[in-house]
Amino acid sequence: MNKDSLERRIEEAIDRSSAGGCPPRLAEALEYAVFPGGGRVRPLLTLACAEACGASDLSVAEGAATAIELIHCASLVHDDMPCFDDAQIRRGKPALFRAFGEPMALLVGDALITLAFEEVALTAIAGAERAAQLTRIVARGLGTAHGIIGGQAWELEDKIDLVRYHRAKTASLFEAACAAGAVAAGVDGEPWRQVGRLLGEAYQLADDLADATGDAASLGKPTGQDSNNNTPSAVKSLGLLTTVERLESRLAAAKRAIPDCQGRDGLAALIDSVGHRLCPPDLKQRIEQAAVAGAAA
């Protein structure tokens, strides 16, 4: 797996979208939305799953991985808009709507979704059947019932089911990332969803923790959003320590969930490295110390 090669593929997709007739400010805003990237965790997961499944040629998987990342970027741009989270900072710089205005933010999100599906269709060169399957996987990850859009829409309901909400809002695209990797390698994607779901849940728990503990630097966005915005949060429901324990158990379960495959070790190593970032070994200790200090004060 090669992060540079993934980055080039994402660049090529943005270049293709920005070429030949694209209004120049839109092109600039697309670039702004996608570069510099965050951890690119989801697309790297897609590639890792494809490799684990023994894909010899990674070009289909790279196309699918690029689509997953573009969908992720689209959801960030739309989610940050004033009518939604009104988030000012993203990946350490002003949110796109602040840099380019709301109309452009609306269009950039739509454009990235479109580009994602186009990217998947381009993988049809290597097999149209797979491309169609990948389209459905990406659409499900973004969609109304189990995907990001459904998750965001739960925020607009009076009654909310926290598990379902988090699964749709965050875990869905991780599920799609893993299933897409497997399908790109010509393997049934369904058993791979579980790995993605567990990782996505871990990611959401870590995000809630960082938001609650005020670790703005590691998030690259403002903290305290969940309590400010009245967004459901695991920390609010479970408390800090139980949230950390749940996060640890999800990471361990994700490794156990990897289906039998030839490249199991590489994927397990990726999960370890993601886990280390999401949940540093001393996190629990720091929380306990802070609680003791708080009680003594």
Binding of residue 189 to its own copies (CB under 8 A): no
Which region among 5-13, 24-32, 243-251, 252-260 touches its own copies (by CB under 8 A)? 24-32
Cα distance between residue 293 and residue 297, in whole Å: 6
SS3 at position 38: coil
Cis peptide before 36 (omega within 30 of 0): yes
| End-to-end C-alpha distance for the chain, whole angstroms | 50
Binding of residue 234 to its own copies (CB under 8 A): no
Cα distance between residue 207 and residue 39, in whole Å: 14
81 or 271: CB nearest its own copies: 81
Cα distance between residue 234 and residue 227, in whole Å: 11
> Footprint of its own copies on residues 121-160 (CB under 8 A)?
121-122, 124, 127-129, 131-133, 135-136, 138-140, 142-147, 149-150, 152-157
Cα distance between residue 100 and residue 279, in whole Å: 34
65 or 271: CB nearest its own copies: 65
SS3 at position 294: helix
Cα distance between residue 270 and residue 276, in whole Å: 10
> Footprint of its own copies on residues 235-294 (CB under 8 A)?
none
Compute the least distance from the CB of residue 9 to its own copies, in Å. 17
Compute the least distance from the CB of residue 232 to its own copies, in Å. 13
List of residues contacting its own copies (CB under 8 A): 17-27, 30, 74, 78, 81, 83-84, 101-107, 109-111, 113-115, 117-118, 120-122, 124, 127-129, 131-133, 135-136, 138-140, 142-147, 149-150, 152-157, 164, 168
